[in-house]
Amino acid sequence: MEEMALIGVKSQHSASQLPLRRKRLRSQLFPSCPLYRLYSIQRALIFKEITTLPAVTPKFQTTSVCFLCSLPPWVLATVHIIMAVAAFNSVSFVGLNKSEAHLLFGSGFGFPSTRLSVSFKAFKPMAAVAAVPAVGLSETFDKLTKQGQVALIPYITAGDPDLSTTAEALKVLDSCGSDIIELGLPYSDPLADGPVIQAAATRSLARGTNFNAVISMLKEVVPQLSCPVALFSYYNPILKRGIGKFMTIIKDVGVHGLVVPDVPLEETEILRMESIKNNIELVLLTTPTTPIDRMKAIVAASEGFVYLVSSVGVTGARASVSSRVQTLLQEIKQATSKPVAVGFGISKPEHVKQVVAWGADGVIVGSAMVKLLGEAKSPEEGLKELETFTKSLKSALL
Amino acid sequence: MACNLQTSFLPALKFPAEATLDKRRGNALVVCSVASAADSIMTASTPTGSAVVVRPRPLSRREVETSERKMTGTTGKFGRFGGKFVPETLMTCLSKLEAEFNLVLHDPEFQEELATALRDYVGRETPLYFAQRLTDHYKNESGCGPEIYLKREDLNHGGAHKINNAIAQAMIAKRMGRTSIVAATGAGQHGVATAAACAKLSLKCTIVMGTLDMERQASNVLLMKLLGAEVKSVDGNFKNATSEAIREWVGNLETNYFLIGTAVGPHPCPSMVREFQSIIGKETRRQAMERWGRKPDVLVACVGSGSNALGLFHEFIADEDVRMIGVEAAGFGLESGKHSATLAKGEVGVYHGAMSYLLQDEEGQIVGPHSIGVGMEYPGVSPELSFLKETGRVESYSVTDQEAVDAYQLLCRLEGIFPALEASHALAFLDKLCPTLPDGGKVVVNCSGRGDKDAPTVFRLTQGSSPGDNKRHPVSP
């Protein structure tokens, strides 16, 4: 490649031997990046492939390289490694897969023996690309209320059909105007879920989805999202990991909220203690069967927003939204000024419009989304359908 | 809402006089004391057994407590176990159920009706049978050994102890105005019992059963259908059936009544089942007093989820000199990974609405258990039993499939009684227990069900070989 030739680096392979693809990839990534040039000069100096700075090096690079040369070699080596890792991490955000990454960072750069590979199961300490960090759930609702808008909150199950599709789906949902995204952790015995989400959980678990894999995926994806993510998990997997540990881990990846459907108000104390420590908003649910006094206690304790379950039963699309929701929304609004999002059974733009007209601050759509993704002929088609569907729901909110 | 009205109405009711209620008081009091003493049991270090010694309280204080609890909503905890870990939609329904349960405990009419049903329909009281040949079999060389008595729950209508609870809960459902019963069953015994009770009380009955279980206990499926129940199949086994039954219940709270068959689930289910099964223990105490003038020394029962074990044990919890042994299913062996020994190998977690010991993997996902006794295959266990095991009041051991099959054959040959494979687990433990007991010690084994349903399985596995041959191993499912 031209740059390499310019700085006179002796590489193990001459330019013509590099596969065309690799050249193309490199030129895509680092055509004129000064950092890269600095890096390669520095590297060349370390590995003693050049002994003098090439004449064509721009002045600022010469100055910085001279400075760098005055540092002890171990510092240079450390900086070299850090920059390599940073550059390497940036690869994953460009959507390269494993083999392409190998092409770039394998023998072409002369790394002695380490084979770095992109894998969603690896733990990467640095995110090279930092998007604008998303705000918490309450702040999101504050913003929307000021603009007079209602929040669109889609729900999908992690790992159905697979984690990389989930990663893409999260980005799609974000770009189509979702205000908060609920991500469900698959569980073997979901008591609150109907057949669609049950099936999604079974498929996800059969593929070997586990908590660590979901966290690795979130670590990469959450910084790219502009809307906050809330996790939806049953209690036993949280208990098994240890409530404090669970909260710390999800906080570290940038999750803002948590919904645990099978913990009643009385048992939420420990959860709330740990969630407060870690700045995670614990959302509580209220239902049509909840008596008013209990509902008041629930809405007082709920953080982020109040999740109003629209019907008596498990999750799953229904033909229409129960008219009780209107009364329930009024009762809740009398009891609290916190935002209320309605979920369970909402699957069409008409449902969304109706719920908005009744005064909801947010609309949660789960099974309909999960069905699209899980039952599509291919992940790409599922993502396309998801995009169309989300846009149709968003337009119903405007 | 009707539910709001009912909960506000209840505290105004007066409870009837205590004269006729002495017998039932004992158990309800233990519920109160154990549940409310939760904090002290959790934090203080407890000497084994004494933590659950309960002094009966005067009725008036309990009345107050009960009505107070109605307003605040009890947690139903046994130490750290138990509780109500269910979706919010179910919470009010559980409170109503608890209120109704407390009412029937004090209602003399209900108690009389129940006693009549237990006597004339179920066929109680069941005999405490002295197994002479079995006792002789376990005697050592010097002719010393304990005396073995079998509590014949297999002689109940339906063939198991399940009917004790099913008939009582069906009566409660009718009282509450429910028209449709949903129940989940493993071995099918609870399904048969529920279907029978529903036929008797003219209630619509839906039984949810796992496809694997339906294959293994086909005769029970036929019986359920003949008794008029609709049998709904679900992929998997009892744990999947229970999850599906709970979902059905949530979907139809006004008309459906979820009739739980074992002492698991959210409060008040474990307490209700234990209360209705405790008739076993009460009869045993009376029969023991009549025959020997004293209490039994050791109680042995199989533990699947704990209903028959708690039924036998509960009466004697306060009697420290009575030893209690729960026997679980070790399947192919505890180290094989294919077993149902929750108390032995489980960890504490939340499942089907309660906190208890649980067979789970490192992610907190629920593990599918295995046992040749279909009714033993449940990854959880009763929260009350978890508590009793943790405090050391109940000892817990386990027995493999092969040992259970051998015990089945042994009882057939020695006493002419065919026990269910579940109960055979308890009988198999006698092998290890009897050599350690003094001469003349009284051992009561709960023969929780009869074994017609298991005859094809046992016959296929043994092909007529005599017990102790150990020639064959259980065929993997």
Residue A350 maps to which CATH number? Answer: 3.20.20.70
Q: State residue A35's pLDDT score.
A: 58
Please report which confidence band the pLDDT of residue B83 belongs to, taking 50, 70 and 90 as the band edges: very high
Instruction: Establish if A51 belongs to a structural domain.
Output: no
Using CA atoms, how far apart are residues B378 and A93, in angstroms rounded to an integer?
Answer: 46
Q: Which residue from B91, B251, B347 is facing A314, i.e. has the nearest CB?
A: B251
Give the count of domains, chain A.
1
B190 touches B164 (CB < 8 A): no
Q: Which of B102, B154, B167 is nearest to B128 (CA)?
A: B154
User: Which has more confidence, A59 or B426?
Assistant: B426
A126 touches A115 (CB < 8 A): no
Using CA atoms, how far apart are residues B431 and B434, in angstroms rounded to an integer?
Answer: 6
B362 touches B370 (CB < 8 A): no
Residues of A64-84 as b/e, b for ≥16 C-beta within 10 angstroms?
Answer: bbeebeeeeeeebeeebeebb
Q: State residue A281's pLDDT score.
A: 95
Using CA atoms, how far apart are residues B452 and B282, in angstroms rounded to an integer?
Answer: 27
Instruction: Establish if A338 belongs to a structural domain.
Output: yes
**Consecutive H or E run containing B157:** none
Which of A240, A283, A324, A331 should one mutate to test binding to chain B, selecting the residue with the greatest count of B CBs within 10 A? Answer: A240
Instruction: Establish if A155 belongs to a structural domain.
Output: yes
Q: Which residue from A191, A238, A263 is facing B247, i.e. has the nearest CB?
A: A191
DSSP helix/strand/coil, B128: strand
Q: What is the DSSP string of B185-241?
A: ESSSHHHHHHHHHHHHHT-EEEEEEEHHHHHHTHHHHHHHHHTTPEEEEESSSHHHH
Judge whether A89 is closer than 8 Å to chain B, CB to CB.
no
Judging contacts by C-beta atoms under 8 Å, the chain B residues touching residue A290 are 88, 91-92
Q: Say yes or no for a CB contact (<8 Å) between B86 and A264.
A: yes
Q: State residue A391's pLDDT score.
A: 94
B416 φ/ψ sector (left φ>0, alpha ψ -120 to 50, else beta): left
- Enter the DSSP assignment of B53: -
A216 touches A249 (CB < 8 A): no
Q: Say yes or no for a CB contact (<8 Å) between A240 and B360.
A: yes
Does residue B50 register a pLDDT over 90?
no
Q: State residue B239's pLDDT score.
A: 86
Q: Which two tokens stand for residue A65?
A: 């390289």
User: Of A168, A174, A182, A361, which is the active-site residue?
Assistant: A182
Residue B226 makes CB contacts below 8 A (sequence gap 6+) with none
- Enter the DSSP assignment of B305: S
DSSP helix/strand/coil, A183: strand
User: Which has more confidence, B47 or B222?
Assistant: B222
Using CA atoms, how far apart are residues A160 and A375, in angstroms rounded to an integer?
Answer: 10
pLDDT of chain A along its 398 residues, tens only?
444 444 444 444 444 444 455 545 454 444 455 555 655 665 655 555 555 555 444 555 455 555 655 666 676 666 656 665 555 554 444 444 444 444 444 444 444 444 444 444 444 444 445 456 678 999 999 999 999 999 999 999 999 899 999 999 999 999 999 999 999 999 999 988 989 999 999 999 999 999 999 999 999 999 999 999 999 999 999 999 999 999 999 999 999 999 999 999 989 999 999 999 999 999 999 999 999 999 999 999 999 999 999 988 888 878 888 888 999 999 999 999 999 999 998 999 999 999 999 999 999 999 999 999 999 999 999 999 999 999 999 999 88
B440 touches B294 (CB < 8 A): no
- Shortest Cα–Cα distance, B350 to chain A (Å): 5
Judging contacts by C-beta atoms under 8 Å, the chain A residues touching residue B83 are 266-267
Q: Which residue from B92, B250, B360 is facing A291, i.e. has the nearest CB?
A: B92
- Shortest Cα–Cα distance, A290 to chain B (Å): 6
Q: How far is CA A331 from CA A40, A88, A288, in A?
A: 66, 54, 11
Radius of gyration of chain A from Cα atoms?
25
Search chain B and give the residue with CA nearest A192: B87
- Shortest Cα–Cα distance, A392 to chain B (Å): 29
Residues in chain A: 398
- Which residues in chain A (251-310) have CB-CB distances under 8 A to chain B? 261-267, 284-292, 294, 298, 309
Residues of A130-150 as b/e, b for ≥16 C-beta within 10 angstroms?
Answer: eeeebebbbebbeebeeeebb
Handedness of CA B177, B181, B183, B189 (dihedral sign): positive
Q: Which of B280, B273, B320 is nearest to B297 (CA)?
A: B320
Q: How far is CA A326 from CA A321, A330, A354, B283, in A?
A: 10, 6, 9, 55
- Residue in the block written with tokens 């109040």: A306
Q: What are phi and psi of A284, to 5 degrees?
A: -110, 155
- Which residues in chain B (354-373) have CB-CB distances under 8 A to chain A? 358, 360, 362-366
Radius of gyration of chain B from Cα atoms?
21
Instruction: Establish if A192 belongs to a structural domain.
Output: yes
Q: What is the DSSP string of A223-240?
A: GG-SS-EEEE--HHHHHH
Please report which confidence band the pLDDT of residue B341 belongs to, taking 50, 70 and 90 as the band edges: very high
Please report which confidence band the pLDDT of residue B17 belongs to, taking 50, 70 and 90 as the band edges: very low
Q: Say yes or no for a CB contact (<8 Å) between A314 and B365.
A: no
- Residue in the block written with tokens 């978890």: B386
Q: In what order do the strands lie in the sheet with B81-82?
A: B77-78, B81-82, B354-358, B347-351
Q: State residue B254's pLDDT score.
A: 82
What is the rounded average pLDDT for all residues in chain B? 84
Q: State residue B248's pLDDT score.
A: 85
The string of pLDDT tens digits covering residues B181-219 is 999 998 899 999 999 999 999 999 999 999 999 998 888
Q: At what angle do helices A163-175 and A379-397 cross, to 10 degrees?
A: 30
Judge whether B247 is closer than 8 Å to chain A, CB to CB.
yes
Instruction: Establish if A241 belongs to a structural domain.
Output: yes
User: Which has more confidence, B156 or A49?
Assistant: B156
A225 touches A131 (CB < 8 A): yes
Q: Is the pTM of this model over 0.90?
A: no
Instruction: Establish if A280 belongs to a structural domain.
Output: yes
Give burial (CB, 10 Å; 0-12/13-18/19+) of A287: buried
Q: Is A193 a catalytic residue?
A: yes
A301 touches A284 (CB < 8 A): yes
Lowest-confidence segment of B63-72, B87-96, B261-270 by average pLDDT:
B63-72
Q: Say yes or no for a CB contact (<8 Å) between A189 and B352.
A: yes
Task: Provide the residue range defining the domain that includes A343.
Answer: 148-397
Q: State residue B35's pLDDT score.
A: 38
- Shortest Cα–Cα distance, B47 to chain A (Å): 27
Domains and CATH numbers, chain B: 85-120+161-264 (3.40.50.1100), 126-156+268-454 (3.40.50.1100)
Handedness of CA A207, A213, A217, A218 (dihedral sign): positive
Instruction: Establish if A39 belongs to a structural domain.
Output: no
Q: Which of A87, A5, A102, A8 is nearest to A47 (CA)?
A: A8
- Shortest Cα–Cα distance, A190 to chain B (Å): 8
